[in-house]
Chains A and B, each alone.
Chain A
């Protein structure tokens, strides 16, 4: 006969249904708020928008690939997609270069660990908009950086650091850095310190111990952090739209412009899907590449 409730729960836990039960809440949120809207967007991307004689927007509910054909035929769109990918890759690279030393020191820190961790996370406590305005103050024409450059005599005229590509890179890298640091640190922290001693005992100097032991062992964290930063950077909107000053177009800003400015939902939806597919393709390819570095525990 059936056992106690505890027993039945135990058996339930062992079954594969329990896995489903565990992910069901988050899965339903994903389906309701992400999958269904994205599918609806996909549907929209196959329609067309017409502007009526009186300026009214008319949605032609005819399935066609016209929007995608427009994308493929447009060097303008291609350049924006390319700029977006290059921006996201550059940001990822900058985050690796700037984040690795921070994550490494953080993973070795003892006494100040809590405070250092808080400092790394501090940017999250301030809204993206506020942070971006902060950068505008620092990087602007009459900002701190230019004042210092002019005062030191390094330049004779203010350097444009904002409302251009450079400004976007600085702003987005700043926002993405904590993600890289946290992901990397989690992996670096788990690397057994005695491995460094083992390497040194075998004759490896500190640099060799790092390059032959620590670095290879941190690769999973580097890959995970890079994927995270790349995926977030590719679709980031607030910072590029503010720091770019409307002069630099990225996929996110152009999607906003098509959808809200031009009220061309089908075109905006098409661009959103192009971005989604491209991002997934890049992530998939890098996963394949990452597998070559992988070792099984």
Chain B
């Protein structure tokens, strides 16, 4: 498996650490309530198809959001998570 790092280009998956669904990017407000926090922390889809998740490219220290297909294993897109704020 190879993942295109937005910084470094196509790299072997050995250089990456998997983190989980990209839901983690949408952090609720402190007072959003138990349900919102429960959903944020624990509720995950497990699609047969397109999914978005977070990977850390350890060598360059970029956190990236990867859009990929769990059926074909195709990587559809990658983007640095920082772009959402910068």
A-B complex is real: no
